[in-house]
Chains A and B, each alone.
Chain A
Amino acid sequence: MTPAKTAAATAVLLLATACSAGGAAPPPADTLIWATTSAPNSLDIAHGFNSASTLVQAAVLDSMVGLDERGKPVPRLAAGWTQPDPASYLFTLREDVRFTDGSPLTADDAAFSLRRHLDPAVASQAASYFTMVKKVEAVGAGQVKVTLRRPAPAFLSVSAIAWQVVPRKLAEAHPKDLGSPEVGTLGTGPYKVSRFSLTSGVVLERNEAYWGPRPALRRIEVKSIADPETLRLAVRSGEVDGTSDLNARDARKWTGLPGVKTIFYPGDNISYLSLAVGNGPLADVHVRRAIAYAVNRRAISDLMTAGHGAPAAALLPAPMLTALYGSAPPPLPDYPYDPAKARAELARSAHPGGFTLAVPYAGGGDTGTVMQAVAADLAKIGITLRLEPAPADQYQSRMMEHDRLGIQFVSLAYGTPEPIEVLPDMISRASAQPQGFNFSGYGSAETDEKLDALVSATGEDAKAQVTALLKEIAEQVPYIPLFHTDNAVALSERFTASLGTWTTDMFARIRPAGR
Chain B
Amino acid sequence: MRAALTAVLGLVALAALAGPWLAPYDPAAQDLALGAAGPSAAHWLGTDEMGRDVVSRLLAGARSALFWPVLVALFTTALGTSLGLLSGYRRGWVDALLMRVVDLAIAMPGLLVLIVVVGVLGGGYGWAVLAMAVLFTPGDIRVVRSLTLAQRELAYAEAARTLGLRPGRIMFRHLLPNLAPTVVANALLSFTGALVALAGLSFLGVGLPAGTPDWGLMVEENRQLLDLNPWASIAPAALITVVACAATLLGDRAFESMSKGGVR
Contacts and interface: CB of A to CB of B under 8 A. Distances in A.
B206 A391 contact: yes
Contact of B209 (A253, A368, A394): A368
A303 B35 CA distance: 12
Contact of B210 (A253, A368, A390): A368
A372 B30 CA distance: 13
A252 B119 CA distance: 31
B211 A372 contact: yes
Contact of B122 (A229, A250, A252, A394): A394
B117 to A, nearest CB: 12
B224 A389 contact: no
Nearest to B202: A364
A303 B32 contact: yes
Nearest to A395: B122
Interface string A362-390: 01110011001000000000000000011
B167 interface: no
B123 A364 contact: no
A232 interface: yes
B61 to A, nearest CB: 16
A363 B208 contact: yes
A363 B224 contact: no
Nearest to B217: A364
Given A391-B119, A394-B123, A229 B224 contact: yes
A215 to B, nearest CB: 34
B223 interface: yes
B210 A365 contact: yes
Given A303-B32, A394-B122, A229 B223 contact: yes
The B interface, classified by DSSP as helix, strand, loop or mixed, is loop
Interface string A384-409: 00000111111000000000000000
B253 to A, nearest CB: 28
Interface in A221-237: 229, 232
B205 interface: yes
A252 B32 CA distance: 13
A369 B209 CA distance: 10
B210 A232 contact: no
Interface residues of A, number: 18
B205 A232 contact: no
A390 B119 CA distance: 10
Contacts of B32: 303
Nearest to A360: B123
B209 A389 contact: yes
B32 to A, nearest CB: 7
Contacts of B224: 229, 232, 250, 253
Contacts of A252: 35
B131 to A, nearest CB: 14
B223 A363 contact: no
B124 interface: yes
Contacts of B211: 368-369, 372
A253 to B, nearest CB: 6
A303 B208 CA distance: 22
A160 B36 CA distance: 44
Contacts of B119: 391, 393
Contacts of A390: 122-124
A250 B124 CA distance: 27
Contacts of B210: 363-365, 368-369
Contacts of B123: 390, 394
Contacts of A394: 122-123
Interface in A334-384: 363-365, 368-369, 372
Interface of A: 229, 232, 250, 252-253, 303, 363-365, 368-369, 372, 389-394
Given A303-B32, A390-B122, A391-B119, 16 more contacts: A232-B224, A252-B35, A253-B224, A363-B208, A363-B209, A364-B209, A364-B210, A365-B210, A368-B209, A368-B210, A368-B211, A369-B210, A372-B211, A389-B124, A390-B124, A391-B205
25 contacts: A229-B224, A250-B224, A252-B35, A253-B224, A303-B32, A363-B208, A363-B210, A364-B205, A364-B210, A365-B210, A368-B209, A368-B211, A369-B211, A372-B211, A389-B124, A389-B209, A390-B123, A391-B119, A391-B122, A391-B205, A391-B206, A393-B119, A393-B122, A394-B122, A394-B123
Ranked 9 nearest A-B pairs via Cβ: A363-B209, A389-B209, A391-B122, A394-B122, A364-B210, A368-B210, A229-B224, A390-B122, A391-B206
